[in-house]
Amino acid sequence: MAVKSHLRGNRPVLLNIATNDALAGSAKNISMLMNYKNYYFVPMGQDDFVKKPASLIGDFSQIPMALMYAMENKQIQPFFFTG
């Protein structure tokens, strides 16, 4: 209900992904949200690409910067890569 209210008021919604299924079954839904207006993402990447090849986790330290960008209707770089 809170997200719905935010979107009705044309305000940004910031999402921080943490899932073991992001690059498998959930990839379609995540990419769909990336194309919708007012949805913004905290930078995310794989936390353990060997043991959990389909996982993604947001960088919690980037939340303040991602929020600042979202308030300006801008998406900070949504992916980071490790390796």
Q: What is the pLDDT of residue 19?
A: 86
Four-CA torsion 58, 62, 64, 69, nearest 10 degrees: -90
Please tell us whether the domain made up of 2-71 is placed in CATH 3.40.50.1950.
Answer: yes
| Average pLDDT per block of 10 residues along the chain, 83 residues long | 88 91 82 92 88 88 95 88 57
Q: Measured between alpha carbons, how far is 10 from 12 in angstroms, rounded to an integer?
A: 7
Confidence (pLDDT) at 20:
85
- Record the pTM: 0.86
4-11, long-range: CB within 8 Å, 24+ apart, which pairs? 6/38, 7/38, 10/38, 11/38
Q: Which pLDDT belongs to residue 82?
A: 58
Domain ranges of the chain: 2-71
Angle at 43 between CA 12 and CA 63, to 5 degrees: 60
Provide the pLDDT for residue 71. Answer: 95
Dist CA 36 CA 33 (whole Å):
5
